Amino acid sequence: MPSRPESRDGTRPQRGKAKKSCADKFGFQETSSFAGANGAPDSTYLQISRDTFQELMPAAAGAPAGVGHIGLKVSDLKATIDELRRQGLTYPMRQSASAPSCLSSVPAAPRVAFELLEFPSNSLVGRAKSAWRPAVR
């Protein structure tokens, strides 16, 4: 799976406190936020470095606090999934509903999934990476 070292993980903390703490203490910038079907915040991306993002999601029934998924960026999701399928693994592929990104998710442990992601340059993550400037303190 040829890929640049890039990662993203999704955690379910007390979202408001975690977002404020990450911004105030560490200087992480919010790159995007999405509302769920009920209009409440569902997912917020914080940019840690050019290639590392933290996704904060609310804890809820069936989705307890903790790590929900680990995302790994690949340069060509279709080719990567095709290769994994040739090796006998089953990965579904779907288009992100919130951005022009493609992802594949497979359970890795109870309530934790591995996601393979491809972020085109016009996706929210792609644009955030292009605009990245390290914080000066």
Q: What is the pLDDT of residues 109-136, one digit of tens each?
A: 777 788 888 888 888 888 888 888 876 6
Q: What is the pLDDT of residues 88-101, one digit of tens each?
A: 887 776 655 555 56
Q: How confident is the model at residue 1 (pLDDT cuts 50, 70, 90)?
A: very low
Continuous segment of H or E residues that includes residue 23: helix 15-26
Instruction: Give the torsion sign (CA, 69, 73, 78, 79).
Output: negative
Question: Does the pTM of the predicted model rise above 0.75?
Answer: no
